[in-house]
Structure 1
Amino acid sequence: MVIEKFLELFNEKTLLNLLTRVLVFSAVVILTLFFVKISRKIMDSNHKLKDLDPTQFTFINHFLAGIIYFIGILSAVYTIPTFRSLVVSIFAGSGVLAIIIGFASQQAFSNIVSGIFIAIFKPFRIGDRVKLIGKETFGVIEDITLRHTMIRTFENKRIIIPNSVISNDIIENSNIVEDKVCNHVEIGISYDSDEEKAIQIIREEAMKHPLFLDNRTFEEINAGEPPVNVRIIGFGDSSVNLKAWVWSNDTGSGFIMKCDLNKSIKQRFDREGIEIPFPYRTIVFKNSEDQNKSTL
């Protein structure tokens, strides 16, 4: 009996209708993927669009793909009458579901709007070195989609942050206006060392480094300002603390230069008798007799 009823339900007409719906649904999905691929090829081949900022270009590409996918999904669902009538009946009979869906999509919509603001105002762009203040997040912006921003760390890991979150964070951007960076090289010398000689050594080592950038203005050059400023910034327990302001073209070359200068300055100090102090500890026993008795 069960088998006969099953065969009655799936007669020739029913199977034909089912096959038609499956073909229409598949065709809509294939067309959606095809249009996404075509839109990306058109954008990649359009010279005017290529002149856009990479951040805007990437976001527009993702935005168009998202619209095509959205229309494609709605069209695919619309081809199935059962789903279409079910959705209509649910929305007509229950406003609670609409409220739930509204709250669920609120975050997604917030991410899209935040992504649009990021593409327009460009607080950071693809390729920028950024650091999220107060968080251990530091790396290069790799991608900005409709939902999230992807950061590639210097360990080659990817950090995915929703657009609505990163747009509310305080960001340190090393490339937003210009790439050049002032690097601080700090070193301490002993109180017995010649501080003027130490300052001259630091200045010479910095100036001869291939990554050093002379950032002086024309007026500063005419006024005789040195290419590298070195100052005594304070006094420690056993050291006179020196600080040099050394410019580089960008953050990456600045890091390499600082590492090289730490090595070359240390070697030069050793050769020319400038001491880099290390901490001393003096232990004083006030009651030496009591101390001797306690050890006997």
Structure 2
Amino acid sequence: MTKFLETHQSDIIYAASVVAIVVLLYLLTRALRKWFTKKIQEKLPGASVRPIHLIQRILTLLWFLLGITALSFIIIDDEREAIITEYFKLFSYVGVVAVLTIISLMISNLWFKYKISQKIEGNEDPTNYKFFRYVALFVIGIMGALIASLAFPSLKGVAQTTLGGAGIMALIVGFAAQEGLSNITGGLFIIAFKPFRVGDRIKVSDTMVGTVTDVTLRHTIIKNFENKMIVIPNAIINKEKLINYDFEEHILCEHIELGISYDSDIDLAKKIIREECENHPLILDTRSVTDLEEGKPLVRTALTTLNDFSITIRAWAWVRNHSDSFSLKCDVLESIKKRFDKEGVEIPYPYRTIVMKDFNEKSIEGSE
């Protein structure tokens, strides 16, 4: 045993040093992970710390692989030492690139989230930061993958060409044939021309109405009034004709329409509709000083259509925003119906007059 220790003393010391360094690096990585996690949670409560855990796992795997590679130098011959050295360099290069890429992604993501939270707290538009956050993360991820691929001989030529500039043009041209580029372009148009912003209530169609929650590289997310998320590709929503209820002025005019029978009193029906609208707490007075001096009513009512079996009366009721308009319309329709029933104004059912002719009787009279 003593002879064995004397013979392999240098190898034992080398192996012990490698194991000690790997253990020390593991403990240091773990301690740094806890410290960074604590700091991030203090600065940005609720922020995701998954990237830090991922960095710890990558570094732990890297230390383990480097340790195994270093220990293998003890038992391999000189011919294979060069191969192991190349693997050692490969593991180190890929590991460092992966860690730096993840750190860059994490720092970029946290910075954008911090700026977005500042915008939201200051009641400012966070749409630009939300969109360019995805752009930055996408670019950093692609660059990290290309730089990591330089370590592999079979991919080195492609990576160098792409990073050199000509490859980027080829990549863009190839990508242009795909739908993805049109979505990215649509997202850029949304950011540049701002037909809507995050937090705006928009209507794309009768089934797609809600609040914009996010604009990504590929799609726009709308949360409807049923708390369901609607995902619309940017290329589609950029072409649609939509209604933005929060664009510039928020006030809007809600049309309250009801049909009454031809036998009902039109003036009474108009009076009931006007009074019920004016008595609602959400109604907004948009009359000017001149309108008040001329005695114009708060809510205008008029007969708009003569239908087959009914008369349509419309009221123009102004409200502060889209939410108020929906609430006012529901309340007023109910109160008007009750007033109509009480005061004898009829909301008619469809009427059809059927004329019955007795063809058999005419045939008999003709034969006589």
Tell me the TM-score range normalised by the shorter chain: 0.7 to 0.9
Seq. identity, %? 37
- Give the corresponding residue for 2:109: 40
- Give the corresponding residue for 1:31: 100
- Give the corresponding residue for 2:230: 159
- Give the corresponding residue for 2:319: 248
SS in 1 for 2:258: strand
Whole-Å Cα distance in 2 between the matches of residues 12 and 271 of structure 1?
100
**CA displacement at 1:101 relative to structure 2:** 6.6
SS in 1 for 2:285: coil
Whole-Å Cα distance in 1 between the matches of residues 359 and 338 of structure 2?
43
Q: 2:246 aligns with which of 158, 175, 178?
A: 175
Does the 8 Å contact 1:140/1:153 carry over to 2?
yes
Residues 89/266 of structure 1: CA separation in 2 closer, same or farther (3 Å cut) = closer
RMSD between aligned residues? 3.5
> Per-residue CA shift, 1:146-183, capped at 9, x if unaligned?
23222233343333333333223322222112222211
Whole-Å Cα distance in 2 between the matches of residues 168 and 281 of structure 1?
44
Does the 8 Å contact 1:201/1:268 carry over to 2?
yes
- Give the corresponding residue for 1:185: 256
1:213 aligns with 2:284: yes
Does the 8 Å contact 2:210/2:225 carry over to 1?
yes
Q: Which moved more, 1:101-110 or 1:176-185?
A: 101-110
- Give the corresponding residue for 1:69: 141
Q: 1:237 aligns with which of 308, 322, 330?
A: 308
Q: Which moved more, 1:189-198 or 1:38-47?
A: 38-47
SS in 2 for 1:210: coil
Whole-Å Cα distance in 1 between the matches of residues 193 and 264 of structure 2?
52
Whole-Å Cα distance in 2 between the matches of residues 139 and 121 of structure 1?
20
SS in 2 for 1:226: coil
1:130 aligns with 2:199: no
TM-score for both structures, normalised by structure 1? 0.80
Q: Which moved more, 1:37-46 or 1:238-247?
A: 37-46
Gaps of 5+ in 2: 1-75
Whole-Å Cα distance in 1 between the matches of residues 113 and 312 of structure 2?
55
Does the 8 Å contact 2:219/2:232 carry over to 1?
yes
- Give the corresponding residue for 1:3: none
- Give the corresponding residue for 2:150: 78
TM-score for both structures, normalised by structure 2? 0.66
**CA displacement at 1:46 relative to structure 2:** 5.0
SS in 1 for 2:110: helix
Whole-Å Cα distance in 2 between the matches of residues 281 and 102 of structure 1?
64
Whole-Å Cα distance in 2 between the matches of residues 277 and 47 of structure 1?
54
Considering only CA atoms, is the larger Rg found in Structure 1 or Structure 2? 2
**CA displacement at 1:199 relative to structure 2:** 0.9
1:228 aligns with 2:299: yes
- Give the corresponding residue for 2:42: none
- Give the corresponding residue for 1:119: 191
**CA displacement at 1:130 relative to structure 2:** 2.1
Gaps of 5+ in 1: 1-6
SS in 2 for 1:75: helix
Whole-Å Cα distance in 2 between the matches of residues 11 and 208 of structure 1?
92
| Greater helix proportion | 2
Q: Which has the higher contact order (CA 8 A, sep 6+)?
A: 1
Amino acid at match of 1:168: K
SS in 1 for 2:240: coil
Does the 8 Å contact 1:43/1:49 carry over to 2?
no
SS in 1 for 2:313: strand
- Give the corresponding residue for 2:345: 274
SS in 2 for 1:245: strand
- Give the corresponding residue for 2:91: 22
1:147 aligns with 2:247: no
Whole-Å Cα distance in 2 between the matches of residues 172 and 117 of structure 1?
17
**How many pairs align?**
282
**CA displacement at 1:136 relative to structure 2:** 4.7
Q: 1:195 aligns with which of 257, 266, 280?
A: 266
Q: Which moved more, 1:268-277 or 1:60-69?
A: 60-69
> Per-residue CA shift, 1:43-77, capped at 9, x if unaligned?
44459973652112212322322232232222222
